[in-house]
Amino acid sequence: MSHPTTLNPNDKPSGSKPGIVYSEMGEFDILSHYSRLLGEDPSKSMPIAAIESLCALCDGIEANTIHELLSTIQLGSDTLKEAVPNAISLTAGCDLFTKFITRHSHDDPRDFDTFKKKLQSNGHLFAQRARKARSIVAENGLKVVTNNPVIFVHGYSRCVMAILLNAREKGRKFKVICTETRPSCQGLRTAKELRAAGISVAVIDDNAVTYAMNKATFALVGAEGTLTDASIINVMGTQNVALAARNIDRPFYVATETHKFVDMFPVDQYMIPVKQNVIVFDPEGVEGAMSQEELTFVDYVDPKYITSFVTEMGLMSPTMVGDKIITTRLEG
């Protein structure tokens, strides 16, 4: 887009802070809005918070032309992606929203005010639909929780929680084996919430994944992002679970909403767009593993280990997931 009012994240005024959208129409602190949304509602996932922040940006900034509005959204999503260290699932939300808005931008270009109102309501509708997706995933997840299974869980995923809690509510009988998922201890959070709902949970050490897998019926994990080849990005250790499951032919299910599908194509775990120093030779002053204080390390799982995705569109094979992402790309 080569337009005189094209906004560039590099043209920030001096003394600018990361996470704030500066433009001729005013400024908007998108990062703090985003963080507030996540803080207020712990059950909210990153892409939805991103979509809602972009909606708020549209509301908060006085744009006078369609172009200004679109470039503000673009700038907002770029700013947000830049300011957050692991931006994979956030990228999914931003890209989807931008695409959605752009596709509808040609609908009625005559009257800008009506257009803007329509666009904003579209944005809110989109956010609302995305929020609703998880409850549909929970409903679809019942298809895999059958015949009193023992479910192997790793990390903390809102989708997995939704499925398990829904299954419990519907009277399905099952048990859960859950890893601690150190150092973030996400697994302990999972175990605590499940036990509070009356589900029987065994918490195991992260090193006991292969030891415990024999007792599990299948593995169920969430995903931060699902990529074009249907590989997933999730908390470190997910690949261990996938390999352990494959080794003794346990199905490996991934519960996720389709708004976490991202059009990215890394060919191996070292190409994922997250800067994490997992393997460092002879670091100064560090004796053990590299610390994960700033950022929880993420892992990459190849689609060949994934049995099926549980999404709001039903159970999807990895090929179907790839198909969906590519079709969206080709539609432009």
- Which residue ranges make up the site for another protein (CB under 8 A)? 228-230, 263, 265, 267-268, 304, 319, 322-323, 326-327, 329-331
By C-beta, is 186 or 228 nearer to another protein?
Answer: 228
By C-beta, is 203 or 321 nearer to another protein?
Answer: 321
By C-beta, is 110 or 275 nearer to another protein?
Answer: 275
Distances (CA, A) of 325 to 87, 276, 298, 302: 18, 26, 22, 16
- Closest CB 249 distance from another protein, rounded Å: 17
By C-beta, is 181 or 231 nearer to another protein?
Answer: 231
Residue 56: CB atoms within 10 A of its CB come to 20
By C-beta, is 123 or 225 nearer to another protein?
Answer: 225
CA geometry: angle at 256 spanning 300 and 175, to 5°?
Answer: 95
Q: How far apart are CA 184 and CA 202, in angstroms?
A: 18
By C-beta, is 62 or 323 nearer to another protein?
Answer: 323
- Closest CB 208 distance from another protein, rounded Å: 25
DSSP annotation of 71 reads H
By the 10 Å C-beta count (0-12 exposed, 13-18 middle, 19+ buried), 252 is classed as buried
DSSP annotation of 271 reads G
Start-end of H helices in 141-217: 158-169, 186-196, 209-213
- Closest CB 31 distance from another protein, rounded Å: 28
By C-beta, is 196 or 330 nearer to another protein?
Answer: 330
- Closest CB 135 distance from another protein, rounded Å: 30
**What contacts 24+ positions apart, CB below 8 Å, involve 77-80?**
77/50, 78/9, 79/9, 79/18, 79/19, 79/20, 79/21, 79/30, 79/31, 80/19, 80/30, 80/31, 80/34, 80/50, 80/53, 80/54
Q: What pairs with residue 308 in β-bridges? A: 253
- Tokens 């094209």 sit on residue: 6
By C-beta, is 134 or 260 nearer to another protein?
Answer: 260
- Closest CB 327 distance from another protein, rounded Å: 6
- Closest CB 127 distance from another protein, rounded Å: 27
Contact 126, 101 (CB under 8 A): no
- Closest CB 253 distance from another protein, rounded Å: 20
**DSSP string covering 237-263:** THHHHHHHHHHTT--EEEE--GGGB--
Q: What pairs with residue 252 in β-bridges? A: 219
- Closest CB 305 distance from another protein, rounded Å: 13
Q: How far apart are CA 212 and CA 232, in angstroms?
A: 23
